[in-house]
Structure 1
Amino acid sequence: MIVEPGMVEALKKATSTVAPIPTVIPGADPIYQTAGDVGNRTLWAVCIIMALSSLAFYGMAFRQPVQKRLFHILTAFITTFAFLSYFAMASGDGISLNKTVITESHKHVPDTEQIIYREVYWARYVDWSVTTPLLLMDLALMAGLSGANILVAIVADVIMVLTGLFAAYGKGDGQKWGWYAWACIAYLVVVYQLAVNGRSTVASKDSKTKAFYGAIAGFTLILWTVYPIIWGIADGGRLVGLDAEIISYAVLDVLAKPVFGFWLLFTHDSMSSTSPSLEGFWSNGFGSQGTLRVGDD
């Protein structure tokens, strides 16, 4: 092929007017937000605390007659389920990765996506769905709440935990914070049952029981109010890392379960003359002619 000199000059002028093609920016590598050594050691430490507390509570239960063991058994079950939950999380069995995609806009180039995988400790929610109703039973029976109020409190509590779990796996902000809002509403129902109905019911009991219920119920509600705050900072807003999240929940769980349990049972045993007594099926089975009595003065 013969190329004329004029044609070469024309081609040079044509190509010189073409603007450079923008470079396409690829998405960055996925980010994995996982626990470090501090977080893992914390999980094992709390696992041991829950195990030792459970053994102590079962031992305290066996020292009481069966009619007086209700609070001991409920409290021992709380730390037992917590032990299983922390063992699962510490051993890596109660964890999954939640994928979040963040779209980033750029000028003159296509949008890019940043993928983030964050560990969600779903075993923690399984723990809360079992242990918090048991803890509510401790407080409700101490106050002498009616069966209807106890049922409402427990159902609201389970809704609170489940919607918190759904929020942790939410794909978008609207979905995540929508579930979080429902969890907060359910928590307010629990607060109403303990703070209003519980306080009204316990007013008919002796002064020691009233004072103790006010103290331990207030302690519990303060701790439970901190949980959603930690969730909003950690799982929700992702403003802190996994280690800080684990440590925060660990401190709350130790206070809300072993510390709560020892406080409850030591006080209960010291007030044995006025503590609830269960006869009938609880202590003698269906063949007995006794009656069920909870919260008698």
Structure 2
Amino acid sequence: MSLNKRANNALNTNSYTVNGISQAVNNQTLQITTHGSDWYWAVCAVMVCSTFAFMGLAVTKPRTQRIFHYITAAITMVASIAYFSMGSNLGWTPIPVEFHRNTPQAHGNYREIFYVRYIDWFITTPLLLLDLLLTAALPWPTLMYVILLDWVMIVTGLVGALVASGYKWGYFAFGCAALAYIVYVLVFEARKHANAMGRDVGKAFTYCGSLTTLLWILYPIAWGLCEGGNVIHPDSEAIFYGILDLFAKPVFGALLIWGHRGIDPARLGLHIHDYDEKDLAIEMKRPGANGTNGHTNGITNGNSTEQTV
């Protein structure tokens, strides 16, 4: 009785047969089992623990040097919500499959598509790029354009996953083209900028950028085997995407925070003022600050000059 009460009952509690959805469609849909749900819950737990760890590390730094801690914690926090949803068997819709498989691992007329996964990526992948490209001190126009292409990649991936016909591969191609440019920026432009900022900055970017590049190249392969080609079971899909996300978010975040342990964000053009900063008053009186000439503002009237502080 005790074990039954503690068993994972998410699939029964959140069955897709509610709200007028026919039982026939539900029976023909390839869905996760309790094993897949348990795996999603495990990944959710890792994401939650990582969020608390990154926030805990943030308080060890001055408020002006927490930008990378906050961005990284936000990534795992959003991922926690997404994996909570998938572990609860929520945030998905059945889509008719293009390729019907006779194997037990991929047999069914419909396949569950977790759109909540793409909502997660729409929020977290720009934050991942922000972590990397701010580390490389990349110019803002390039940074914003790369984030735009990242959104193109995620949206086309979602639309392609929701399309039942072969036109889904057109969206897949658009997404891969956007990914190709992102990889180019990470491998060439951003790496050169990071190395120019110093050996420690270049080293931190190389580790994190190389990990991200490798993992992001694997995501289209996972998409082709799961949402696109209907080759593997949704439980295997959960493991494939889950492992990629674990390395792309908590492991990436830990590596990034470790790499930034001795780097002042001000070196990267991220000088952030705080209300109790001791040098703030001096900075405001600096020549040229706030459009003034410094400590004095000369007003000439005839042969006399009035000075105001």
Same fold (TM over 0.5): yes
**Equivalent residues of 1:102, 1:115 under 8 A apart:** no
Q: Does 1:166 align with 2:159?
A: yes
Q: Which residue of 2 aligns with 1:283?
A: 274
Amino acid at match of 2:163: G
Matched residue count: 251
Amino acid at match of 1:118: R
Q: Which protein is bigger by CA-based radius of gyration?
A: 1
Q: Which residue of 1 aligns with 2:201?
A: 209
Structure 1 residue runs of 4 or more that deviate by more than 2 Å after TM superposition: 99-103, 270-280, 282-285, 287-291
Cα gap change, 1:239 to 1:204, in 2 (>3 Å): same
Return the match for 2:214 from 222, 229, 232: 222
Q: Does 1:87 align with 2:84?
A: yes
TM-score computed with the length of structure 1 as normaliser: 0.78
TM-score computed with the length of structure 2 as normaliser: 0.75
Q: Does 1:47 align with 2:47?
A: no
Q: Which residue of 2 aligns with 1:20?
A: none
> 1:74-101 CA deviation, whole Å, 9 max, x = no partner?
0000000000111111112211111247
Return the match for 2:115 from 102, 113, 122: 122
Q: Which residue of 2 aligns with 1:149?
A: 142
Q: Which residue of 2 aligns with 1:3?
A: none
**Equivalent residues of 2:37, 2:89 under 8 A apart:** no
Q: Which residue of 1 aligns with 2:234?
A: 242
Q: Does 1:68 align with 2:65?
A: yes
Query: Deviation of residue 215 (structure 1)?
Result: 2.0
Amino acid at match of 1:92: N
Amino acid at match of 2:155: L
Q: Distance in 2 between matches of 1:277 and 1:261?
A: 21
Match of 2:29, SS state, is strand
Q: Does 1:132 align with 2:132?
A: no
Match of 2:116, SS state, is helix
Q: Which residue of 2 aligns with 1:268?
A: 260
Query: Deviation of residue 216 (structure 1)?
Result: 1.4
Q: Distance in 2 between matches of 1:274 and 1:210?
A: 16
Return the match for 1:37 from 34, 37, 56: 34
Match of 2:61, SS state, is coil
Identical-residue share of aligned pairs (%): 34
Instruction: Quote the RMSD (CA, aligned, Å).
Output: 2.6
Amino acid at match of 1:80: M
Q: Distance in 1 between matches of 2:264 and 2:271?
A: 15
Gaps of 5+ in 1: 1-28, 104-113, 292-297
**Equivalent residues of 2:207, 2:255 under 8 A apart:** no
Q: Distance in 1 between matches of 2:265 and 2:137?
A: 16
Q: Distance in 1 between matches of 2:117 and 2:49?
A: 19
Q: Distance in 1 between matches of 2:96 and 2:183?
A: 33
> 1:10-52 CA deviation, whole Å, 9 max, x = no partner?
xxxxxxxxxxxxxxxxxxx973200012111000000110001
**Equivalent residues of 1:32, 1:118 under 8 A apart:** yes
